Chain A
Amino acid sequence: MIPFDYQRAEDAAGAVAAVAADPDARFLGGGTNLVDHMKLGVAAPHRLVDVTRIGLDDVAELPGGGVRIGAGVRNSDLAAHPLVRGRYPALSRALLSGASGQLRNAATTGGNLMQRTRCVYFEDVTTPCNKRAPGTGCSALEGPFTRYHAILGASEHCAATHPSDMAVALNALDAEVRVLGPGGERTIPLDEFHRLPGDAPDRDTVLEHGELITAVELPAPAGAARSTYRKVRDRASYAFALVSVAAVLDLDGGGAVRDVRIALGGVAHKPWRARAAEDALRGGAPGEERIAAAATAAVAAARPLPGNAFKVDLVRATLGSVLRELAAGPAQEPAEPADPADSTENAVEGEGR
């Protein structure tokens, strides 16, 4: 590891200024991905700007029933927050299915969104990888270790997947990412936050150097919506997704689909919004035929690599099963604006983590 300077930022503006001024500086959240990458030689920043003590540790209710999650909120606190457990169970489930209890206690919301691929070739600095070392080639396209690689949206330059569970749920929940940069604030829909690899796989997201995630905002869930997250993996816990599904289903009084949102994990360079599957479900009750059509539509554009074609069937089966579960299950707690006293009590304080 190369030597580096460490500084604790005191506020968001200071953090942005410090990183923006130095092309070799990086924000440090919980460190569970960046410290690992510095050990592996995948990342070699000269300066770390710690953003865990800049007051972004609250989960707060927004007027209208949405929720604002500070970028510094730890994954464990977010998953356990009453507002999230009650209104966005898919998000709790996604967080809880990721990593381990220890890692979730350290990992932050911002760091989770920014975590990099677990592609074995990306993490092994002795192999060619366009994401880590642009222009060297993509080892995954040749295989043989393609189990965790993309079947959708890959390019001839990169077949890596985004490993975050949380981001898949946030996509299906239509979250927005709030960002502070040297030029001011902007808001990015989650679906536009991560990129497809194209010919620049070294860029995972649309963030520019020096831009800091300050919060993630969730709109209020629809009245009768139900949502969940299902993750399929090689062992029962503490493993990344082979395939995952986040889905939100809102049925009207007659049982017809009023709204549906589906995102897939483990299959693409970004959380994959399955819009064709959503379209196939709309217009009537979510019966067997419509569910089968949706599952087929979700993978119609799949182009598996040698060694990962099984993921096409796995997506179809997992999505079908999730949709059947949601269609049969009860609607979740509606988003009644909480008692203000309550929401203060429920705010996550980040003091001294």
Chain B
Amino acid sequence: MEADVTLRVDGTTRVVRVDTRTTLLDALREKLDATAPKKGCDHGQCGACTVLLNGRRVNACLTFAVAQDGAEVVTAAGLGADGAPHRVQRAFLDNDGFQCGYCTPGQVCSAVGMLEEAAAGWPSAATGDVAAEPVLDDAEIRERMSGNLCRCGAYVNIVAAVREAAADSAGNTGNTDSADSVTSEAAPAGGAEVR
């Protein structure tokens, strides 16, 4: 069974006819040539397929494209602008936050989503008092990034990259950097108190 699905992918509106069995990940990679998100496990267990869906990080392998008709999808390729990497991408480069690079587009999207969640005050399993404002230390970063596996084991530098990007965004709330524009629309619309 087929359906026409409209997706806004990295800022461009695309209409694609898919079999209902097509996941969002396969629609992006196989039908729309958006190959930044990778297929690692195809079962939600690795995070390589992470994209920002209506501003929130999710695993593109565990949702059907038809279920996302009308959605806004940002992949790692849609972050940043014309030769100017997004601050999270810049931090991964500066800190050598990868080796083979297969997990990296997912790590980057996950980090962008995660930083928005932390900025909105969301707690994590590493937060001592879940009712209090979390402080994004290394233990918090590791816990919040645990949905992204790296088979090369670049974790130490990934944590360093995310730490640097977090510090950047904390000191840069004016957000004049055009490279951040994609994510600034993408705040999690959750119930967290913004303090």
Contacts and interface: CB of A to CB of B under 8 A. Distances in A.
B72 to A, nearest CB: 8
Interface string B10-31: 0000000001110100000000
A74 B122 CA distance: 13
Interface stretch (A97-105, A206-214, A261-269): A97-105
Interface stretch (A17-25, A27-35, A186-194, A216-224): A27-35
Nearest to B66: A6
A346 B67 contact: no
Given A6-B64, A35-B23, A96-B123, A76 B114 contact: no
A85 B59 contact: no
Interface residues of A, number: 51
A282 B59 CA distance: 45
A81 B131 CA distance: 9
Given A92-B130, A333-B131, A351-B189, A50 B122 contact: no
Given A76-B117, A349-B189, A106 B62 contact: yes
A179 interface: no
A4 B56 contact: no
Interface in A1-51: 1, 3-6, 28, 30-32, 35-36, 38-39, 48, 50
Contact of A80 (B43, B123, B129): B123
A1 B21 CA distance: 7
Contact of B147 (A28, A92, A236, A238): A238
A35 B120 contact: no
B146 A238 contact: yes
Interface in B61-113: 62-64, 66-67, 70-71, 110, 113
A101 B189 contact: no
B10 to A, nearest CB: 18
A31 B64 contact: yes
A314 interface: no
B169 interface: no
A101 B114 contact: yes
A35 B20 CA distance: 12
A69 to B, nearest CB: 11
B71 to A, nearest CB: 8
B147 A348 contact: no
A18 B64 CA distance: 19
A236 B1 CA distance: 42
A306 to B, nearest CB: 27
A163 interface: no
Contacts of A89: 129-131
B63 A80 contact: no
B183 interface: no
Contacts of B40: none
Given A39-B42, A80-B190, A101-B57, A6 B3 contact: yes
Contacts of A106: 58-59, 62-63
A103 B122 contact: no
Contacts of B188: 76, 105
Given A80-B123, A97-B125, A102-B47, A6 B63 contact: no
Interface string A55-68: 00001000000000
Interface string A326-353: 0000001100000000000011110111
Nearest to B146: A237
B4 interface: no
Contacts of B64: 6, 28, 31, 35, 48
A86 interface: yes
Contacts of A1: 21
B23 A105 contact: no
B66 to A, nearest CB: 5
A271 to B, nearest CB: 19
B20 A81 contact: no
B163 to A, nearest CB: 17
Nearest to B149: A238
28 contacts: A5-B1, A6-B3, A28-B67, A30-B62, A30-B63, A31-B64, A35-B23, A35-B63, A59-B191, A74-B190, A76-B56, A77-B191, A81-B191, A85-B130, A86-B131, A93-B130, A96-B124, A101-B110, A101-B144, A101-B146, A102-B47, A102-B50, A102-B110, A237-B146, A238-B146, A332-B131, A347-B191, A348-B191
Closest 4 CB pairs of A and B: A100-B147, A237-B146, A80-B192, A348-B191
Given A6-B3, A35-B63, 19 more contacts: A4-B1, A28-B64, A35-B62, A48-B20, A74-B190, A77-B190, A85-B123, A85-B130, A85-B131, A96-B127, A101-B117, A102-B147, A103-B147, A105-B56, A238-B146, A348-B190, A351-B189, A352-B71, A353-B189
